[in-house]
Amino acid sequence: MAEKRVMLTEDGYNKLVEKLNYLKSVRRIEIAERLKAAIALGDLSENSEYDDAKNEQAFLEGEIMDLEAKIRNSDIIKSGAGDVVQMGSKVTLKDLEFDEEETYMIVGSTEADPDEFKISNESPVGAAVLGQKVGSVVEVHAPAGIIKYQIMKIEG
């Protein structure tokens, strides 16, 4: 079965690579030192320090494998400049009910972070605005009901 492609901005890709390098070069060594210290305590059958370190090591190796797969299967999103909303676009939306504007960047689900105004192309808002032009009104089906947004601006 083919692994799922991961959509990333160049910044998002670089952050994943940086995190992977940190986990491999710093965290692996820290956990190896913890294991060595726990082994030095003797009897491993009742050594909770050793068990904790082994569990942490297993978790770390799983996280490393996950990051390596994401990096290996990533597609870098080019700048979203243009007259239609696409991956990588910064889009300013006006909530027509509350007359409020917010600007979001459309990114892949791996990079989505609402606190940084990065929304996934798979989210209700992201999916609704993809392919739309400035001036378009889109309806987003949210748990609270239907929200109407007008696209005010598209930037790269």
C-alpha 111/C-alpha 94 separation (Å) is 23
The torsion region of residue 131 among left (phi > 0), alpha (psi -120 to 50) and beta comes to left
pLDDT tens digits, residue range 67-112? 999 999 998 887 656 789 998 999 999 999 999 999 999 999 889 9
Q: Which CATH architecture has domain 78-155?
A: Roll (3.10)
HEC letters along 13-48: HHHHHHHHHHHHHHHHHHHHHHHHHHHHCCCHHHCH
What is residue 81's predicted lDDT score, i.e. its pLDDT?
A: 62
The highest-level CATH class for domain 6-76 is: mainly alpha
What is residue 107's predicted lDDT score, i.e. its pLDDT?
A: 92
Per-position pLDDT tens, the chain of length 156: 567 888 888 888 999 999 999 999 999 999 999 999 888 887 777 778 888 999 999 999 999 999 999 999 998 887 656 789 998 999 999 999 999 999 999 999 889 999 999 999 999 999 999 999 999 999 998 888 999 999 999 987
Domain ranges of the chain: 6-76, 78-155
